[in-house]
Structure 1
Amino acid sequence: MFFRLDALAVPIVQSPMAGGASTPELVAAVNSAGGLGFLAAGYRSAQGMREQLVRTRELTSRPFGVNLFVPGVPDPSAVDAVGAYREQLRGEADRFGLTLPVPDAGADDDGWEEKIEVLLREPAPVVSFTFGLPAPGIVEALQRAGSHLVATVTTLAEAVAAEAVGVDSLCVQGP
């Protein structure tokens, strides 16, 4: 499916807000107003994402997007920094009888492969990526399935890398 942002009646793209705020109902409301609604797949299981895709298709016939978190390589220094911050909070936690979580050095891929499989079987008109880039093979497969792909970038180097993997559009954030 070829998608053009300039074809929107209202030049608004609703931000995909992970954690529950981006519902199928919100996507449909934005679409009804002439914009482009977006589901957030971050922090959601592949099955939960699929259920939201199905519900969104029941509520709107207009194009919509799905945003995915791209898994990265765990950074040991980040785990150390979280551990140090955890220790700074220990006194407050003890005061309120709370148990602080232990930092995990393992990678959480947020169900990446399962979500890609869902989107290959049941393509969304627009798929965006945050926190990194998919492999070129995934880009090609999603495009063959009919999705317009958007990469979120924060630097010129990230923009060049996104162009190199073949995404269709960029979402530029930062200075």
Structure 2
Amino acid sequence: MASIVEPGPMLTEPTARRTLWPVKPLINPVQTEHLVLRPFSCADGHEVFAGITPTLTRFMAFDPPGSFAAFETIGQEWLRLIEQGAEYTFVIRHLQDGRFVGIAAVHRATEGEPELGIWISEREHGQGYGREAVRAVVHWCAERLAAVAYRYPVAVDNVASRRIAEALGGQVVGTEQSAKFASVVYRIPVPGLPG
């Protein structure tokens, strides 16, 4: 199970990359066996943007932003939603060396069935980090949100992501069709509650 760790020193942004984004942690980091998940901050922006590639987003609802300026708008929205408690976007880093691994998110956090999202940098695929991160987010949510279950939509052809949902007890409860792909929607139970 994930453990909560106290936030470290405040992040600072190099002068060359200064933005208007706040940099203080808004929620405590979550630590797992191999990973640490921290709330998104401006200090993460360039690494996150670099990780959003066309091949990575083939199974995601959005396409890569065309520029870092376009990504900054997305990042500012993430920060606004985190501050409001409406959504939580975590940057996933390797516990040992701090290298960027990916993003985990809780969308519609105030609803009875918040939606979970995950993407792992292509260079980190195949290590089990997606499953480890989603499990940590599910446990983090179970301690803080009034969720009865979690919604986890995934492209039909995204076998690795489907395995994450299934490993957490997820059951297919529906299908969706977007312009990019067909999806199945999993319902993942809250740990400790009947499915």
Do the structures match in fold with TM over 0.5? no
Greater strand share, 1 or 2?
A: 2
Greater helix share, 1 or 2?
A: 1
**Higher relative contact order at CA 8 Å, sep ≥6: structure 1 or structure 2?**
1
Q: Which has the larger radius of gyration?
A: 1
| TM-score (structure 2 length as normaliser) | 0.30
